[in-house]
Amino acid sequence: MSQGEEKEKLHVEEDEKHLLLDHNYDNIHELNHPLPSWWNAIFLVSVIYGTAYFFYYQVFGGPTLKEEFHTEYGRVLAAQTEFKKLNGVFSQSFYDGIVKNDGVKKGEEVYELNCMPCHMENGKGDVGPNLTDKHWIVAKGNPDSIHHVVFHGSEANGMPAWGELIKKDEVYQAVAYVMTFRNTFVKGKEPQGEIVED
């Protein structure tokens, strides 16, 4: 049987007959489906990009991973510094606005979620100090100094820098709520730090 007759006996769709190859193995015939143009385009772009990438980093002295890390890390540090400069300084007017806008009640929620594990309910202290007496370790019992400790933390005393973890409003709300503990003298952790009089 000739190849032409074999082709006639094969079941090949009309629009695929031009793809049928003129050879077979064990009566298995092949269709030569070309790769789609979008695949060829992606492959070509990948080869060009890969070649350019290789020459840039291996031949023309592109930055190493360590150099790129230090560049990116420098940007992160600069952004953090700018953030602390803009938000890390206490604003009395902003604090007053927070207090007027139901800040104490909202601060209670912030306190329960973030501060209670160390300072316990009502600020009586546990891992962290008792916030209800006249003794203060870092802060001085006023909104300004409490904000500084909440925002910047106190590494020496195990206090995290909450300004990097919660929103600006939440920092001020937490301060407003902590101020309600002042001089309530809830029985709890023994006094720590120095006495600060009103």
Q: How far is the C-alpha of 143 from the C-alpha of 13, rounded, in Å?
A: 83
Please calculate the CA angle 146-189-90 and round it to the nearest 5 degrees: 0
Q: Determine the longest span between alpha carbons in the chain, in angstroms.
A: 112
The per-residue pLDDT for 8 is: 53
**Residue with structure tokens 């082709």?**
7
Task: Tell me the C-alpha to C-alpha distance, in Å, between residue 102 and each of 99, 122, 169, 185.
Answer: 6, 18, 11, 24
Residues 88-123 pLDDT 10s: 899 999 999 999 999 999 999 999 999 999 999 999
pLDDT at 185 over 60: yes
**SS3 of 25, please?**
strand
Select the more confidently predicted residue: 166 or 8: 166
Pairing relation of β-strands 194-195 and 135-136? antiparallel
pLDDT computed for residue 153 by the predictor: 94
Average pLDDT of span 120-128: 94
- The CATH class that applies to domain 88-195 reads mainly alpha
Is 50 a residue whose pLDDT tops 50?
yes
Which region among 32-36, 37-41, 54-58 has the lowest average model confidence (pLDDT)?
A: 32-36
128 CB neighbour count, 10 Å cutoff: 20
Question: Phi and psi of 123, rounded to 5°?
Answer: 70, 20
- What pLDDT shows up at residue 1? 47
Signed CA dihedral, 91, 95, 98, 100: sign only: negative
Distance CA 165, CA 162 (A): 5
The pLDDT value given to residue 105 = 96
Question: Mind listing the pLDDT tens digit for each residue in 135-157?
Answer: 999 999 999 999 999 999 999 99
**What pLDDT is recorded for position 125?**
95
Which amino acid does the sequence have at 34?
P
| pLDDT tens by residue, 2-34 | 555 555 566 767 777 777 777 777 777 787 878
Range list of H helices, the chain = 3-9, 37-54, 65-87, 92-100, 103-114, 116-119, 143-152, 168-179
Question: What value does the mean pLDDT of the chain take?
Answer: 90
